[in-house]
Structure formats: structure tokens, C-alpha cells
Amino acid sequence: MKTSILLVLTVIGGLIGWRASAQTLSGTVTDSVSHKPLERAVVCVVAQGRRDSLRVSTDTSGIYEIKKVPPGDVFVVVSFIGYRTQTRLLRAGTRGDLGNTALVPQVREMQEVVIEAPAIRLKEDTVEYRSDAYPVRKDAVLEDLLRKLPGIQVDQNGNITAYGRPVTKIRIGGKDFFLGDPKLATQNIPAEIIDKIQVIDDKSEQAKLTGFDDGEREQVINLSIKKNRMDSYFGNLTAGAGNDGRYLSAVRAFRFDQDQQLALIGGANNTNGTNITSGATTSGPPDNNAASMGVNFSGKLAAHLTLTGSYNYSTSHSITDQWSRREYFLDTSYIYLQDVHSDSRQQTHSIQMALGYGVGKNDTVIFRPSLNYGINHRQTANAFSFEDAAGDTTSQGTQAYSADNTSPNLSGTVTWLHRFGKPGRALTANVSAGPGPVRETDNNFSTNHIYTPSLLDTIWQTSDIHTRKQQYSASLNYVEPLGKNKSMEVSYNYNRNENLSAKDVYDISALNKSLNDSLTNSFDNVLVTHRIAVNFRQGNKKYNYQVGLGVQPTLLDSRSVIMDTPRTFRQPSLEVVPVASFYYQFSANRRIHFYYNGATQQPSIAQLQPVPDYTNPLFVAEGNPNLKPSFNHNFRVSYNDLDRLTGRSFFLNGYSTVQQNAIVSNITLLTGGKQVVQPVNIQGNYSIGSSYNYSRPFWGRQFTLSANGSLGYNQNVSLQSGVRNTGKNWTGAQGLRLMVTMGKWLDLTSEGVYTFNNSVYSLAATAANRVSSWAFRQEGRVDVIGDLSLRYTFSYTINENVPPGVSPTITLMSMVLEKRILHEKGILALSVNDLFDNAVGYSHGWGQGYTEDDQNTVMGRFVLASFTWKFQQIRAGAKMPGGVSR
């Protein structure tokens, strides 16, 4: 009996194994003449009587594998550009390894063939998108295009996130566009001029010069311009006005040729930007007047001289109102409530430049000066109160606060790169300096009435603060090749940061103004670091890895003078700083990246200064001169899998940070809810998380379905009156999005997102704090009749477990109706913002020992009429959009 059962199981297992093998085809594709493998050859399997097919492309070795081949007779079609296509009939049961298929070069003349490049491509540090694979409306800007790209999110404020990390720069042709302000590019550059979008996991300038990864990375977007927009200028002018005094004006002008780029961007509005003209809802403060003007230039000045630079001026005046509810978890829970009215005025001037000069064949010098000047005024009126766990008010008060400051900042960096005669051998030197004085005047008047025992705490003070920051650094890096695909780097870095702060505090009464000796102080902090490191790197086209180790001695030297009494603090330390990275490309479509680096985080001058700060009378901050630097172990891994034939994409990212000597706050609770906060070092803080994005177009890219999600865990250990308080916080999100594009007349995007935030604290007297929300959003464009178009954005948000006084639902909708005139050179638009007049914003966050809910007023309903005039001059012979030549 056992033998029979074993025989049956063996036969079944053999049939299952035969069935599995019968569903897979594999083989190689080569050139019949050179016998070299053909990468990216297309192999299709078509079942008889069916129109759809399975298809794959070969890897760098010409190898392919097709799984889940249907039963029965099938055709195998092998094709490659410039070669004769081969078709082979496979009878049912013929599966497995088909061996080699040798394609014969096509030598006869062919008729014109239109070949579409893949929508997405992978490179070592870059994901490249072909812009015309993601059609957008006429007159769309870069921001509209980015919203359609898999793995990229753009929030309502225009902030860009790529694969879970913020985008910090926009470049055109590899040159920075308005350094440090991506929104100037995303909200102004026309989408129609863009050929390709590259999302680059960019290395530091030092790493790009030496080829060695120092672990400092940022997400950067680089744009390439369509050839038919080179040697041309174009742009548009917009003006609009509406009810309640709403207005906007904007100018955008661009000039591109083979050697130079020039852009002029400016405007003024009180609509929180110009998003209203694109159908999106503005979400900023209800009273906000802003104006800006900027010029960006990049190009060759001479044969070996290049310049990239920008100047930007901006001014704004905004008034906001916000209600907050902060719930603390200490020995007993208590709640802090506040209503804040803020008035803020800002002016900034910014000049950024990069001047590169090639000295002969082997030497390059790059000079990067930077000048920023800001003038700021801020005043707030705050009404606050504290409640205990029973809901009884224990204290209440008011605060009137104002601050004026100016902050000029001048810095510069000079880099020299020398290449030796031996390939791969190079020497890089870098020197930088950056003084930055800041002057500020504060006025603070506050009263706090404590009920038990009855006490009135009053503060009326003015402060003059002078801060001078000076930073000097120098580095030397030498790279030596050790053989084929191997090299070693030896580096030395020196940094000196000096911060001098002088604060004069005066007590004010109805009769006089007197110096407060106990709060008046001067503090001089000098941080000096030396770092010696050795790195080894090896790799080829398929993989590379790097390991390195650095030693960093640090000296933190501080001197404080309080009441004419000097105090000196000295903190020497020695850190070992490792770095490692690994990259592997499984195929042309799949890759994995791993990074690790250790980094020190020095305490700020405010965290070191041993003097209480009564700027907020309820949260008195006092520095700790005995603080040690914290050290972060940072891990990050990313996996990308793309199908260039179907356009399917999958991005997976993971991260983790472990902190040693983390700088956290020790909070001591006093009578009436008053807190004294002092920074201390502690162990046990770490975070871990992951995110993913899956996208799949179908039906000729008319439909694209995307899913994205994230999950994170943070453990934050702090001190409450000297007792450890461990906070455990889970955050997560899951979204699903469907995009529909029907030619040029219909464009719809529907999205649903669920988010949650769960927090629990070891000292909490209450249960865990749980907040979640459902957000549904749809935006669309429909060409109604001829040149008449309708665009809209609709969102509906459900907030769960919100505190009393917070609206559980928020509904927002904005629309714009536009008519093209003057041969599409002019656009008349009628826009409405916040159709249902549901002007409210809500956010939930958490901090050390508390969770906070904020609700603020935003710009409500208004109607605005606008006119846009487009201008352009295309060089002779270039094709204009639509294929018409000039």
C-alpha cells in the first residue's frame, strides 16, 4: 500500500514538474555574423487564435526567459531593429530551452518605421522618463507633468517627493535652475518644451569629482529640452482680477540655444501663487500678498569658461489665524490650547553663481560665490490656556510678541581638480568660507494667570541679539587606480565653525527700562574637526561597491559670560566614521542600491548656551554646555524593476537610522503648565521604514493604475523631569490612483489615500493616541467644444478620531473655464477657488511626549478672470509643435 501511494505521489510530482517546465521558454539571441549577443531584442509568444501576446526583451548577454506560456500551439517571434524577424511555430508540449536564435542583418532598404523609445529607463543613479509618454494639457507646467510620473508625488503646496525622498534641486541640461528653489522651476517651466525628465540620486560635488561616494545624497531632477525649442525664445504674460480684491500677474520668458540658457520669471499676487489658473485649490493663508522676480543664466562665456548663476528677489506679507490643541502624556495628562494671530513680512535677495574655468587639459577650477540677504518682521498675538485630565482649566493667559531681524550671508567655495597622466589618478582641493552676521530685536509681553495657587506671572522684556557665524573648511582628496576597475581614495578634511552670540535683555516697566543681568549674556562657541579617511572602490557595468573608514577628532570649545562671570566648557571627542555602498544591476530593467554612512550631528549654539530663554513664557528653554555630539548610523536600500515594453514600474525603498548620544529634551513641568526644557544626551532612539510605488499602464497608455504606500516606526526616548519616557510611533499610508487619458480632449486622475498615525508613551496616563484619515481626490480636464476647456480639482477628506472643535470632513473644489483665442496665442479664463467655501486646513503631528492637532483658516471662495498671452520665436528650420516647420 505504501509503495502504491509513493508511486502515485511520484507520478503526480513528475507531472507537476513537467507542467511547470512546460510553461517556461528560454534561450539566447545573437548576431548571425559576429555571433555577439543582442541586448534588448524583443521575443514574443503568440497563441494561435489570439491577438494578445507575451513579450520580453533580452538582457546584456542576449538571454531571455518567458514564464506562464499558454498550453497548445504558439508562435515565437524574435525581432531586433536592423535585423530580419524570425517566427517559429512550437507545438503543444514543446517548451523549455529553445537554444540560440541567430538573427540575420537586414540589408535591403526599408520603408520609414516609427520606433517609440521606452517610457522609463534605468541607469546607475538615474531613472529617466520620456515626457511625451505622459501627455498633459496644453499650457501645462512642469509640476503638472511630474504628477503623472510613477514614483513621484507633488503635494498641494508644490513640494516634490521622489521615491519617498524630497527633491531639492531642478536642473536644465545639468545646470542648476534657480539654486535651492525647485518650485520656481516646477511652477513656471512649460511642460511642452521638455524632452526627458531624469530623477537623479545625486552625489555630493566632492563625490562626483573623485568618483567615491561619501554618503551625502540628495534627490535632483534634471530636464532636457526638446531640440525644436533650442535656438529659440518663448514665454507668456498673465494678468487677472477677481472679487474681494484678488489679483495676479506673472511673466515667464525663456531663451535656449546650444550653449546658453536664460530665464526671466516674475509676478505678484494675493492668491497664494498662480495655481488657481490651472484648476487647483489654493491652500495658503487667506491674506497673503507676494511678489517676486528672478533671472537665471547658464552657458559658455568663452572656450574654457562657463557660468551658471541666478538672482532672485521676493517679498511677502501674510496674516494667519491658527487654533491648536496639544495633549501631553506625563505623569498625568494635560492639554494646552492656543489661538494665534500672526502677521509676517519678509524680503529676501539671493545671488548664486558657479564659475568654471579649464586650465589646460588636466586642470579645472570652479568658484561658487553665494550672497543672501533677508529682512524679516514677525508679530503674534496668542491667547492660551491649560486644562488638566478632568477638563478643568488650571491657567490661562495672553502673549504679544514681535521680532525684527536682518541676516546677510556671504559665502564662497573654490575647488581645484588636477588629473595626472595615469588614467584615474586625480587630486582635488577644496576651500570654503562663509561669514553670516544676524541682528535681531525682540519684544515680549505676556501674562499667565495660574488658578491654584492664585498667581499672576507677568513678563515684559525687550532683547537685542547679535549673532556672528563664521565657517571655514578645507579638504584634500587623492585618488589612485589599483588596477582594472579598482581604485583607492585618501582624504583629509578640516572644518572650523565659530558662533558668537551676544544677548542684552531689558526689563520694562511703566517707568523705566533696566538691564536684566541674569539673562544678559555672551556666548562664544568654536567647533574644530579633522577627518582622515581611506576608501576602496571596485566595480564594472554590472556592479560596484565601496567601503571606507574615517577617523574624526573633534574639539568643542565654548566660553560664556553671565553677570560678568566667565565660564569655559571644553568637549573633546573622537569619532570613527564608516561608509559603504553597493550597487548591482540584475538586468537592463532591474537594479538594487544599498548605502550606509555614519554622520555626526553637533549641538546648536542655542542648545549649548546655559541661559534661560523666555521668548515663550510657558516653554522656557535653557542650553546645556555639557552636550556631546550625536552620531547617526544611516542605512538606505532601494530596488527598482521596470518593464520598458509595457511601461510597468515598481519602486521599493527602505531606510533606518540609529542614533547614539541623541540630543533630546528633558522637560520639567512646573505649576500652571509651565515647562522648563533643557537638551540632554540619551540612548535608544531609532527609526525604520519603507515605501513602495507600483504603476502599470494599459490599453495603449489610455489608462494607468498606480498603487503606493509607506510604513514607518519611530522610537523616541526623552526625559520627563529626569524620568525616561519612551514614545513609540507608527505611521503609514496606502494610496490607489487611476489616470485616464483619451487623446488630447480628456484627462482624468482619481485617487484615494488612507493614512494613520498611532502613538503611545511609556509615561502616558491615557491610551494610545490614534488618528487616521481618508482622502479622495479627483482632477480633470475636458475639452468641451473646440477651443473651450474645463478643468477642475475636487477633494473630500474624512478625519477620524479628531479632537473636539475640529471638523471631521473637509470638501474642496475649484474650477476653471478657458477659451483659446488669437490662433491659440491668447487664453481667456474664468476661475473659482473653493467652490463650497469650506476654508479650513487641518494637520496632526506628534513631538516629544505630546500629540498636536492644528486647524487654520485658508483662502476661501473667490472668482477670478484672467488673460494669458503666449509668445515665441522658433529658429528657422526648426519644427514647431505639431510638426509644422518655419
* CATH number of residue 43's parent domain: 2.60.40.10
Are the CB atoms for 843 and 322 separated by under 8 Å? no
CA distance 98 to 374: 70
Specify which of 731-740, 822-831, 846-855 reaches the highest per-range mean pLDDT.
Answer: 731-740
Are the CB atoms for 59 and 26 separated by under 8 Å? no
Q: What is the pLDDT of residue 853?
A: 82
CA distance 498 to 438: 14
**Edge-to-edge strand list for the sheet holding 96-103:** 63-66, 25-31, 96-103
Are the CB atoms for 330 and 720 separated by under 8 Å? yes
Tell me, yes or no, whether 848 lies in a domain: yes
Are the CB atoms for 190 and 225 separated by under 8 Å? no
Tell me the per-residue pLDDT of 603-618, one tens digit each, with 9 for 90 and over: 887 788 888 887 777 7
Tell me, yes or no, whether 109 lies in a domain: no
Question: Quick check: 331 pLDDT over 60?
Answer: no
Q: Within a 10 A sphere around the Cβ of 88, how many other Cβ atoms?
A: 12
748-to-135, 243, 754 alpha-carbon distances in Å: 11, 29, 20
User: Same structural domain for residues 71 and 155?
Assistant: no
Q: Within a 10 A sphere around the Cβ of 426, how many other Cβ atoms?
A: 21
**Average pLDDT over every residue of 91-102:** 80
Tell me the per-residue pLDDT of 710-725, one tens digit each, with 9 for 90 and over: 999 999 888 888 888 8
Question: Quick check: 877 pLDDT over 60?
Answer: no
What SS3 class is residue 11?
A: helix
Tell me, yes or no, whether 242 lies in a domain: yes
Phi, psi of 550 (to 5 degrees): -130, 150
Closest by CA to 730, choosing from 687, 698, 794, is 687
Are the CB atoms for 600 and 552 separated by under 8 Å? yes
Q: What is the pLDDT of residue 284?
A: 72
Question: Could you tell me the residue range of the domain that residue 659 belongs to?
Answer: 234-371+411-434+476-873
Determine what percent of the chain is predicted with pLDDT higher than 90: 24
CA distance 173 to 841: 38
Tell me the per-residue pLDDT of 434-452, one tens digit each, with 9 for 90 and over: 877 888 899 989 888 888 7
Name every residue whose Cβ is closer than 8 Å to that of residue 377 and which is 6 or more positions away in sequence.
344, 345, 346, 402, 403, 404
* CATH number of residue 831's parent domain: 2.40.170.20
Question: Whose grid coordinates read 550671508?
Answer: 409
User: Same structural domain for residues 184 and 320?
Assistant: no
| Cell matching residue 514 | 533696566
Q: Among 103, 138, 167, where does a domain finish?
A: 103
Q: Among 54, 78, 103, where does a domain finish?
A: 103
CA angle (749 as vertex; 744, 753 as ends), nearest 5: 170
| Cell matching residue 121 | 529607463
Higher pLDDT pick, 5 / 155: 155
**Average pLDDT over every residue of 786-795:** 87
Q: What is the pLDDT of residue 277?
A: 54
Q: What is the pLDDT of residue 766?
A: 52
Residue 6 — left, alpha, or beta (φ > 0 → left; ψ -120 to 50 → alpha)?
A: alpha
Q: What is the pLDDT of residue 767?
A: 52
Are the CB atoms for 579 and 215 separated by under 8 Å? yes
Q: Which of 12-21, 75-84, 383-392, 552-561 has the lowest mean pLDDT?
A: 12-21
The number of domains in the chain is 3
User: Same structural domain for residues 706 and 611?
Assistant: yes
Element housing 344 (H / E)? strand 334-359
CA angle (188 as vertex; 183, 190 as ends), nearest 5: 130
Element housing 753 (H / E)? strand 746-761
| Cell matching residue 391 | 477638563
Q: How confident is the model at residue 794 (pLDDT cuts 50, 70, 90)?
A: very high
Q: What's the whole-model pTM score? A: 0.74
E strands present in 540-670: 543-562, 565-585, 590-601, 612-613, 619-622, 630-642, 649-660, 662-669
484-to-490, 538, 540, 764 alpha-carbon distances in Å: 19, 9, 9, 60
Q: What is the pLDDT of residue 768?
A: 59
Tell me, yes or no, whether 15 lies in a domain: no
User: Same structural domain for residues 502 and 542?
Assistant: yes
CA distance between the termini of the chain = 88
What SS3 class is residue 759?
A: strand
Question: Whose grid coordinates read 542614533?
Answer: 659
Q: How confident is the model at residue 509 (pLDDT cuts 50, 70, 90)?
A: confident
**Average pLDDT over every residue of 520-546:** 88
Name every residue whose Cβ is closer than 8 Å to that of residue 5 and which is 6 or more positions away in sequence.
none
Tell me the per-residue pLDDT of 748-783, one tens digit each, with 9 for 90 and over: 889 999 999 888 878 765 555 778 899 999 988 888
Question: Quick check: 884 pLDDT over 50?
Answer: no
CA angle (453 as vertex; 449, 457 as ends), nearest 5: 35
Which residues pair with residue 369 across a beta bridge?
Answer: 412
Question: Quick check: 398 pLDDT over 80?
Answer: yes
CA angle (601 as vertex; 681, 409 as ends), nearest 5: 130
Tell me, yes or no, whether 17 lies in a domain: no
User: Same structural domain for residues 578 and 702?
Assistant: yes
Q: What is the pLDDT of residue 225?
A: 84
CA distance 270 to 247: 6
What SS3 class is residue 9?
A: helix
Tell me, yes or no, whether 115 lies in a domain: no
Tell me, yes or no, whether 336 lies in a domain: yes
Question: Quick check: 261 pLDDT over 70?
Answer: yes
Phi, psi of 660 (to 5 degrees): -105, 140
Q: What is the pLDDT of residue 180?
A: 59
Q: Among 181, 207, 233, where does a domain finish?
A: 233
Q: What is the pLDDT of residue 121?
A: 80
Tell me the per-residue pLDDT of 15-63, one tens digit each, with 9 for 90 and over: 334 333 447 888 999 988 778 888 888 888 877 655 556 778 888 888 9
The whole-angstrom distance between residue 223's C-alpha and the CA centroid of its chain comes to: 16
Are the CB atoms for 866 and 277 separated by under 8 Å? yes
881 HSE (CA, 13 A, CB side): 15
User: Same structural domain for residues 608 and 716?
Assistant: yes
| Cell matching residue 707 | 498603487
Tell me, yes or no, whether 406 lies in a domain: no
**Edge-to-edge strand list for the sheet holding 86-90:** 54-57, 42-47, 74-79, 86-90
Tell me the per-residue pLDDT of 209-257, one tens digit each, with 9 for 90 and over: 666 665 567 788 898 888 777 777 888 899 999 998 999 999 989 888 7
User: Same structural domain for residues 638 and 545?
Assistant: yes
**Average pLDDT over every residue of 403-409:** 89
**Average pLDDT over every residue of 790-817:** 84
User: Same structural domain for residues 590 and 636?
Assistant: yes
What single-letter amino acid sits at 715? Q
Are the CB atoms for 840 and 855 separated by under 8 Å? yes
CA distance 518 to 564: 10
User: Same structural domain for residues 227 and 330?
Assistant: no
CA distance 183 to 272: 13
CA distance 657 to 546: 20
**Average pLDDT over every residue of 79-92:** 81
Higher pLDDT pick, 1 / 212: 212
User: Same structural domain for residues 69 and 195?
Assistant: no
What single-letter amino acid sits at 623? G
**Average pLDDT over every residue of 393-415:** 90
Element housing 21 (H / E)? helix 2-22
Q: What is the gyration radius of the CA atoms in the chain, in angstroms?
A: 31
Q: How many DSSP H helices and E strands does the chain contain?
A: 5, 49
* CATH number of residue 168's parent domain: 2.170.130.10
Question: Quick check: 304 pLDDT over 80?
Answer: yes
Question: Quick check: 632 pLDDT over 70?
Answer: yes
Q: What is the pLDDT of residue 291?
A: 93
Which residues pair with residue 194 across a beta bridge?
Answer: 225
Determine what percent of the chain is predicted with pLDDT higher than 70: 88
Pairing of strands 521-539, 649-660: unpaired
User: Same structural domain for residues 207 and 345?
Assistant: no
Q: What is the pLDDT of residue 17?
A: 40
Pairing of strands 25-31, 96-103: parallel
Question: Quick check: 195 pLDDT over 50?
Answer: yes
Question: Quick check: 731 pLDDT over 90?
Answer: yes
Q: What is the pLDDT of residue 654?
A: 94
User: Same structural domain for residues 776 and 729?
Assistant: yes
